[in-house]
Amino acid sequence: MLDAIVIGSGPNGLAAAITIAQAGRSVRVLEAQESIGGGTRSLALTGPRFIHDLCSTVHVLVAASPFLRTLPLQEHGLEFVHPDAPFAHPLDDGTAVVVERSVEATADGLSGKDGRAWRRLLGPFAARGGDLMDALLGPFDPRHPPRHPLLLARFGMHAIRSAAGLARSAFEDERTRAMFAGVAAHSMVPLDRAATAGFGLALTLGAHAFGWPVARGGSQRVADALASCLRSLGGEIVAGHRVDSLDDVPPARAVLCDVTPRQLLRIAGGRVPSSYRRRLERYRYGPGVFKMDWALREPVPWTAEGCRRAGTIHLGGTLAEIADSEHAAWHGRVHDRPYVLLVQPSRWDSSRAPAGMHTLWAYCHVPHGADVDMSARIEAQIERFAPGFHDCVVARHGMGPAAMERRNANIVGGDIGGGASDLGQLFTRPVVSLNPYATPLDGVYLCSSSTPPGVGVHGMCGHYAARAALKRTLR
Ligand SMILES: Cc1cc2nc3c(=O)[nH]c(=O)nc-3n(C[C@H](O)[C@H](O)[C@H](O)COP(=O)(O)OP(=O)(O)OC[C@H]3O[C@@H](n4cnc5c(N)ncnc54)[C@H](O)[C@@H]3O)c2cc1C
């Protein structure tokens, strides 16, 4: 009998398996798809020599992860490439606000008072960026004090606010406010909601402390490096093996599920006690995404020079426009001018496209499960800040929520976060519990981004779930 089976080979599944293998226990990962990696897969979506990241592409959280940072992933083939600047926010006047690697350089690019405000707000946290990310991605256990409690408390005072509220009170210039709205909108939560400022601040601090790199050769390299690390520790991975029922899983003392609550209910069937079932049924999923990838004959012709230096571009104009777009997706409306997150990896990683050509990655938020083609609306937002973009396109590929979910069952209704990340579910996912990874089923654990600390390629959900399994089941 194996010590552990992990269902799903996303970054959390692989991190869980590595943690178990590091403890000297036997472990096998079962993955439904033919290729491993979940949200870190790359595929030739537009043509044989173009490498596109199906889901995640910017790996600030791999760099910042307290667990992944300890693994020798470079020795297993992972190399990060850093764009000149982490992200930029173009505006209709043809300029862009740029967030640079350093607080100082970013502040220098903002209007006088906002430059000072940026130094005051971000400077002290950026100086301790590593400690802060350790605390934010640390174990969430109300019984024990968090790491770096004072730093976390100071950060929490700002983070608990709404992004719109913080942007309006901290910054004077509409341009700075727009830039902050652009980074906070990664949360997929309306920007007038509590704790959305936390997303913006954490991601910006991540940019200052670790950069927003991409993986040379595509995000698949993250998955492949984790898989290679796991195999070097004796772990096994079987792709093309979908688990439809826990009854069909090979005998093992512990089963760790890199799936969301809805899938757990399905594969565990009648074994789930009714009270836990009811609590999982109340788990809320968030808006979906419409994802696009392009093959380009030349780089995007941004009007603003700052956008040519940045890896990630947030498109959507002012704070008011972005807030309106995010409010619409959350409340089930399709917006005509959606907020778009765009990444141009091949500007710094030439291995992603044939010589001289490029790849481009973008998505916008849409209502949960929406069956709508956003291609024209996304391209109109790019054209707005880069006239002539259409002439650069060689091929395009679009996927709405249903297509995303077909490629990865965890993307329920197009929700890329494994469940809504509003304040009500940010820490208490999937249920309010002192051990959110354990389930009432003997030896069965949840280890996906539907557990703390939630969305992103950091592997911490898997790592903490595996630690819980090692402590309770695999002693
Ligand atoms: C479009 C998009 C863009 C994103 N951008 C970023 C980004 O730039 N940076 C970032 O940090 N994060 C990003 N994310 C989020 C990130 O990808 C996820 O938070 C992360 O992958 C979650 O990891 P996970 O291991 O919990 O689940 P997943 O990565 O979703 O993996 C789950 C795995 O389980 C498998 N599985 C599911 N059910 C079964 C079953 N019954 N049997 C066997 N296998 C099963 C799936 O096939 C999948 O391989 C993005 C996500 C998407 C979709």
pLDDT at residue 13 in the model:
98
Residue whose CA lies nearest to ligand 1 atom number 22: 449
Token digits for 2? 């194996």
Q: How far is the CA of 123 from the centre of ligand 1 (A)?
A: 32
Confidence of residue 427 (pLDDT cuts 50, 70, 90): confident
Instruction: Give pLDDT, residue 15.
Output: 98
Do residues 409 and 402 touch, judged by C-beta distance below 8 A?
Answer: no
Share of the chain above pLDDT 90, in %: 96
Rounded Cα distance, 390 and 195, in Å: 37
Q: Which spans in 253-318 are helix H?
A: 261-268, 274-281, 305-309
pLDDT, tens digit, for every residue of 12-47?
999 999 999 999 999 999 999 999 999 999 999 999
Q: What is the pLDDT of residue 139?
A: 81
Q: Are 167 and 180 in contact (CB under 8 A)?
A: yes
Instruction: List CB contacts of 169: < 8 A, sequence separation 6 or more.
Output: none
CA of 41 relative to ligand 1 center, distance in Å? 9
Residue ranges lining ligand 1, Cβ < 6 Å: 7-13, 30-33, 38-39, 55-58, 61, 242-243, 258-259, 263, 267, 289, 291, 363, 408-411, 416, 418, 448-449, 455-457, 461
Give the residue whose CA is nearest to atom 47 of ligand 1. 408
Tens digits of per-residue pLDDT, 80-103? 999 999 999 999 999 999 999 999
Q: What pLDDT is stored for residue 224 in this prediction?
A: 98
**The sheet that has 310-315: what strands, in order across it?**
96-99, 85-90, 310-315, 340-343, 358-366, 288-296, 393-399
H or E stretch covering 85: strand 85-90
- CA angle (41 as vertex; 40, 44 as ends), nearest 5: 145
What is the number of the ligand 1 atom nearest to the C-alpha of 267? 41
Q: How far is ligand 1, taken at its centre, from the CA of residue 452, in Å?
A: 15
| Distance in Å, CA 286 to ligand 1 centroid | 15
- Ligand 1 center to 128 CA (angstroms): 29
Flag whether pLDDT at 140 surpasses 80: no
- CA 372 to ligand 1 centroid distance, Å: 22
Reference 457, options 30, 80, 113, 1; nearest CA is 80
What pLDDT score does 144 carry? Answer: 77
Residue 122: is its pLDDT beyond 80?
A: yes
Is the separation of the CB atoms in 188 and 329 below 8 Å? yes
Task: Give pLDDT tens digits for 275-321.
Answer: 999 999 999 999 999 999 999 999 999 999 999 999 999 999 999 99
At residue 147 the predicted structure's pLDDT band, cuts being 50, 70 and 90, is: confident
pLDDT score, position 426 = 87
- 10 Cα: distance to centroid of ligand 1 (angstroms): 5
Ligand 1 centre to CA of 30 (Å) is 14
Mutate to test the pocket of ligand 1, among 188, 408, 445, 460 (most ligand atoms within 8 A of CB): 408
Tell me the CB-side half-sphere exposure of residue 160, using CA atoms within 13 A: 6
How far, in Å, from the CA of 255 to the mean position of ligand 1?
18
Nearest atom of ligand 1 to the alpha carbon of 343: 8
Return the pLDDT at 193. Answer: 97
Output the pLDDT for position 39: 98
What the block records as the tokens of 394 is 């060689």
- Residue-wise pLDDT for 428-454, tens only, equals 999 999 899 999 999 999 999 999 999
Ligand 1 pocket mutation, candidates 55, 241, 256, 405, criterion most atoms within 8 A of CB? 55
Compute, in angstroms, the gap from residue 417 CA to the centroid of ligand 1.
8
Q: Are 340 and 315 a contacting pair, CB within 8 Å?
A: yes
Tell me the CA distances in angstroms from 236 to 4, 232, 445, one per residue in order: 11, 10, 19
**The pLDDT value given to residue 32:** 98
Q: Which two tokens stand for residue 382?
A: 């790019």
Tell how far the Cα of 449 is from the centroid of ligand 1, in angstroms: 8
Backbone angles phi, psi at 267, to 5 degrees: -80, -20
For residue 458 the two structure tokens come to 């950091």
Return d(Cα 171, Cα 166) in angstroms, integer: 8
Q: Does the global pTM surpass 0.95?
A: yes
Q: Is the pLDDT of residue 141 over 90?
A: no
pLDDT tier, 405 (very low <50, low <70, confident <90, very high otherwise): very high
Instruction: Give the distance from CA 420 to its chain's centroid.
Output: 13
Yes or no: say if 292 and 43 are a contact pair by the CB < 8 Å rule.
no
Residues 6+ apart with CB under 8 A from 26: 2, 3, 4, 234, 235
Q: Which residue has the tokens 């091949």?
A: 346
Predicted pLDDT at 149: 86
The pLDDT score that the predictor gives to residue 148 is 85
The closest residue, in CA terms, to atom 14 on ligand 1 is 56
Q: HEC string of 354-391? A: CCCCEEEEEEEEECCCCCCCCHHHHHHHHHHHCCCHHH
Tens digits of residue pLDDT in 201-220: 999 999 999 999 999 999 99
From the CB of residue 405, how many other CB atoms can be counted at a distance below 10 Å?
18
DSSP structural state of residue 438: B
In percent, the amount of the chain with pLDDT more than 70 equals: 100
Distance CA 48, CA 66 (A): 36
Residue 57 Cα: closest atom of ligand 1: 8
Query: DSSP class of residue 126?
Result: H
- For 148, which DSSP code? S
Instruction: Using the structure block, give the residue that is written with the tokens 């209704």.
Output: 413
Mutate to test the pocket of ligand 1, among 53, 410, 411, 451 (most ligand atoms within 8 A of CB): 410
CA gap 226, 22 in Å, rounded: 13
